[in-house]
Amino acid sequence: MPVIVHVLSTLLQLFGLVAVIGGVVVRSVLIPRGGSDSGKARARIAWLLGLALLTLTLGVWLVLIVRTSMMSRESLDHFTTVLPVILLQTHFGFMWLIRCCGLLLLWGGWSLLLLTQKEYFAALMFCAAALIAWTISGVGHSAGLDGFSWRQGVDWMHIMAASLWGGTMLFAALTLKPAARQNGLFSTMARRLSPLAAAAFAVVLITGIINTEHQLHAVSDFVTTGYGRILLLKLTLVTAMLGCAATNRFVFLPRLQGADLRDADAGAIDSIARPASLPTPNHRIKPGVSFLRVLRLETLFMIGVLTCVAVLRHGPPPPHHMGMITKSITKT
The rounded radius of gyration (Å) of the Cα atoms in the chain is 22
- Return all residues near 73 (Cβ < 8 A) that are at least 6 apart: none
CA 16 to chain centre: 8
The pLDDT confidence band at residue 320, using thresholds 50, 70 and 90, is low
- Return all residues near 206 (Cβ < 8 A) that are at least 6 apart: none
Contact call for residues 291 and 191 (beta carbons, < 8 A): no
The domain total for the chain is: 1
Find, among 49, 48, 62, the residue nearest to 107 by Cα: 49
Enter the DSSP assignment of 251. Answer: I
In the prediction, which pLDDT does 1 show? 63
More confident call, 40 vs 324: 40
In the prediction, which pLDDT does 269 show? 46
Enter the DSSP assignment of 138. Answer: T
In the prediction, which pLDDT does 128 show? 98
In the prediction, which pLDDT does 328 show? 43
As a whole number of angstroms, the distance between CA 188 and CA 122 comes to 20
In the prediction, which pLDDT does 278 show? 43
Q: What share of the chain is helix, strand, coil (3-state, %, to 5)?
A: 85, 0, 15
More confident call, 328 vs 41: 41
Which of 31-35, 42-46, 100-104, 135-139 has the weakest average pLDDT?
A: 31-35
Instruction: Work out the number of other CB atoms within 10 angstroms of the CB of residue 26.
Output: 29
Model confidence over 163-216: pLDDT tens digits?
Answer: 999 999 999 988 887 655 545 778 888 889 989 999 999 999 999 999 988 888
In the prediction, which pLDDT does 113 show? 93
- Return all residues near 121 (Cβ < 8 A) that are at least 6 apart: 109, 110, 112, 113
As a whole number of angstroms, the distance between CA 286 and CA 244 comes to 17
Ranked by mean pLDDT, the top range of 28-37, 38-47, 94-103, 285-294 is 94-103
For the chain, give the mean pLDDT: 84
In the prediction, which pLDDT does 56 show? 98
- Return all residues near 200 (Cβ < 8 A) that are at least 6 apart: 161, 162, 164, 165, 168
As a whole number of angstroms, the distance between CA 279 and CA 172 comes to 23
As a whole number of angstroms, the distance between CA 58 and CA 303 comes to 18
In the prediction, which pLDDT does 323 show? 47
Residue 55 has pLDDT above 90, yes or no: yes
H/E stretch holding 24 reads helix 3-25
Q: Which amino acid is at 5?
A: V
As a whole number of angstroms, the distance between CA 184 and CA 38 comes to 10
Model confidence over 266-318: pLDDT tens digits?
Answer: 444 444 454 544 444 454 557 788 899 999 999 999 999 999 999 998 877 77
In the prediction, which pLDDT does 190 show? 87
Q: Which amino acid is at 301?
A: F
In the prediction, which pLDDT does 234 show? 96
More confident call, 74 vs 96: 96
As a whole number of angstroms, the distance between CA 280 and CA 286 comes to 10
- Tell me which residue range forms the domain holding 221: 3-331
